[in-house]
Amino acid sequence: MTRVGEGPATTTIAQLIGAVPGALDPVMPADPELAAAAAQTVLRAVHISELVDPTAYLDGGELLLTTGMALPASPSGCRAYVRRLTGHGVAALALGLGPVHAAVPPVLVRACERQGLPLLTVPAAEPFQRITRQFWSLVGGAAERELQEALHYQHRLVTAAAAPEPVPEILAQLATAIDGQAVLTDLRGRPLWASHPPGPEDLADLAEAVHRLRHAGPHTAASFPLREHHAVLHPVLCDGDVASYLAVLSDRPSGDARGLVMMTLTLLGLEATHRRAWLTGRHTARAAIAHLVDDGHLAAAPSLAERLGVDAPPARVRVVAARGPAPATLDVVVQALGLGGTDSSRWWGTTTETGVWLMLPARAGEPRPDAVAAALADAGSPACVVLGPVVSLAEVHTTRVMLDTRARSLAPGQAQTWRPHDPVPFVTREWAEETLAPLVRAGEGILTTVTAYVRNRGSWQRTAAELGLHRNSVRAHIARAEHALGADLSDPDHTARIWLALRETAVTPDPVRRPVTERGDAPT
């Protein structure tokens, strides 16, 4: 028996008949539609057998050549013979005339018509070898054409990867090669790029498929029906992590496209790795500019920006602060603000111990808190964001400290706009109690000592005299307080927050070394 190798054959009955003129004649069914369908039947192999049951030597898709030496003469026997062939996936039967049968037995014609098995004849004295040779000639030519076509599309994919915007070019080339569609989605199944825009129902099904695949690991693919298409979903890996998902949609599955899909996944992964490295470099440059502005080195910022190849911040910027785990919060907030993480939108920012803060150009417009909160929820981020006012660069440090203070009172996922002239103060009872909680937990007398220390503007001697303690005891208490807070109380930013919290909770110094928790007048 001879067989086509891996991959589907491309030789049909009609093509083989045309390649061996006079060697194969179809026995036409009475129904013209069945005749047309039979002509387009795909042949995957050619086999010659005179056995009454050759199925043990068949694998499906064959053109079976026989002289009919063992063909049963009875109608029931002939029907059973044909049923065995069709049940094993034989594509067509060709009866060689002359040695045994001068014409096709009518029982065989009826049996083939009932089972839908295409029936052909080989004229007397026509060698089966001619048909076999010509079949393999066609298969060889088709294989060579497929190889050339695959090399052609591989070359086009590599060329697309070198384009200024490689992702849409790569997807377009893949879609053309498979005669289908290619869609790249984010980790939540939302399309980033598509060779053809999917319909609303397809988008919902695709998002659901991505949701299921996310829990299966980074090296798992999935296939599923998508309306009239067959879809295969692959993860795109970047440094071992899933960066996105590639959905390949076609009218029917094809093993021949696997090589092109694997190559596409490799190119998309390389592009994602390159983009991540590039964005990391841009984030570092923007952070350097933000640090200069925050430290008051305003004159140095434009010079450094020029050297780093990024835009310098304008004279007036909008300040945004967020609390959450860094550095993940930076990427989430940038996306939530609609900045996209690229140089298509200008921004400068950096991480802090508790979150991030950014500067946006004043002319960029004011972000909507509800839209930002919705984006945070969509990303599943616990960050909270405070959208600040437009200020001069000299006011950035003070403003971002105030915004960070405000962010302490927000719930995870909340976004809020704050202005210095808001009638509602940004200090709340909840924030004040949260701020002082580490001091309460630090031990007896610590909150009392810190209260006196802050009110006496950091004077060890005056604090010790007020509390009736030795200065070394005061120093020990302050050291415990700073350890509990994770902050240096000699820093005016930190002492200002503590003082505001003390005023909100009306805590007053108590020489008896216990904090006063009842409401009263604020310390003066």
Q: What is the pLDDT of residue 514?
A: 38
Give the list of residues 6+ apart from residue 365 with CB closer than 8 angstroms, or none: none
Pick from 205, 177, 178: which is nearest to 189 by CA?
205
Side chain identity, residue 247: A
Please, where are the H alpha helices in 380-445?
396-407, 429-441
Question: What's the rounded Cα separation, in Å, for the pair 47 and 71?
Answer: 16
pLDDT for 170-189, tens place per residue?
888 888 887 888 889 888 78
Length of the chain in terms of residues written:
524
The CATH code of the domain at 163-274 is 3.30.450.40
Pick from 34, 44, 41, 1: which is nearest to 17 by CA?
41
Q: What is the pLDDT of residue 345?
A: 56
Evaluate if residue 337 carries a pLDDT over 90.
no
Q: Region 31-56: what's the mean pLDDT? A: 85
Give the list of residues 6+ apart from residue 500 with CB closer than 8 angstroms, or none: 405, 427, 432
Give the list of residues 6+ apart from residue 508 with CB closer than 8 angstroms, or none: 451, 516, 520, 521, 522, 523
Q: Look at 38 and 463; give whichever has higher pLDDT.
A: 463
Peptide bond into 327 cis (omega under 30): yes
Q: Region 131-151: what's the mean pLDDT? A: 68
Are 224 and 202 a contacting pair, CB within 8 Å? no
Evaluate if residue 521 carries a pLDDT over 60.
no
What is the Cβ-side half-sphere exposure of residue 414, based on CA atoms within 13 angstroms? Answer: 11
Q: Look at 169 and 329; give whichever has higher pLDDT.
A: 169
DSSP 8-state assignment for residue 49: -
Angle at 117 between CA 6 and CA 57, to 5 degrees: 50
Are 234 and 218 a contacting pair, CB within 8 Å? no
Neighbouring CB atoms inside 10 A of 51's CB total: 11
**384-392: strand order across its sheet:** 348-351, 355-361, 316-323, 384-392, 415-417
Name the average pLDDT for the chain.
81
How far apart are the two ends of the chain, measured CA to CA in Å?
A: 102
Q: What is the DSSP string of 199-249?
A: PHHHHHHHHHHHHHHHTT-TT--EEEEETTEEEEEEEEEETTEEEEEEEEE
Question: What's the rounded Cα separation, in Å, for the pair 508 and 515?
Answer: 7
- How many secondary structure helices (H) and strands (E) does the chain include? 17, 18
Domains 163-274 and 313-417 share a fold: no
Question: What's the rounded Cα separation, in Å, for the pair 443 and 471?
Answer: 18
Q: What is the pLDDT of residue 7?
A: 44
Q: Region 69-84: what's the mean pLDDT? A: 92
DSSP 8-state assignment for residue 162: T
Question: What's the rounded Cα separation, in Å, for the pair 481 and 498?
Answer: 11
Specify the 3-state DSSP secondary structure of 96: strand
Question: What's the rounded Cα separation, in Å, for the pair 62 and 90?
Answer: 5
Question: What's the rounded Cα separation, in Å, for the pair 415 and 323?
Answer: 11
CATH superfamily of 2-137: HprK N-terminal domain-like (3.40.1390.20)
Q: Region 18-33: what's the mean pLDDT? A: 83
pLDDT for 380-438, tens place per residue?
788 999 999 888 999 899 888 888 888 887 888 999 988 765 443 467 787 788 788 88
Q: What is the pLDDT of residue 450?
A: 92
Give the list of residues 6+ apart from residue 171 with CB closer than 8 angstroms, or none: 182, 183, 184, 193, 194, 195, 264
**181-185: strand order across its sheet:** 191-194, 181-185, 241-250, 229-238, 222-226
Q: What is the pTM of this model?
A: 0.43
Domain ranges of the chain: 2-137, 163-274, 313-417, 429-505
**119-122: strand order across its sheet:** 2-3, 45-48, 62-66, 92-96, 119-122, 25-26
Question: What's the rounded Cα separation, in Å, for the pair 430 and 409?
Answer: 6
Q: What is the pLDDT of residue 328?
A: 67
The CATH code of the domain at 313-417 is 3.30.70
Evaluate if residue 518 carries a pLDDT over 50.
no
CATH superfamily of 429-505: PucR C-terminal helix-turn-helix domain (1.10.10.2840)
Evaluate if residue 36 carries a pLDDT over 60.
yes
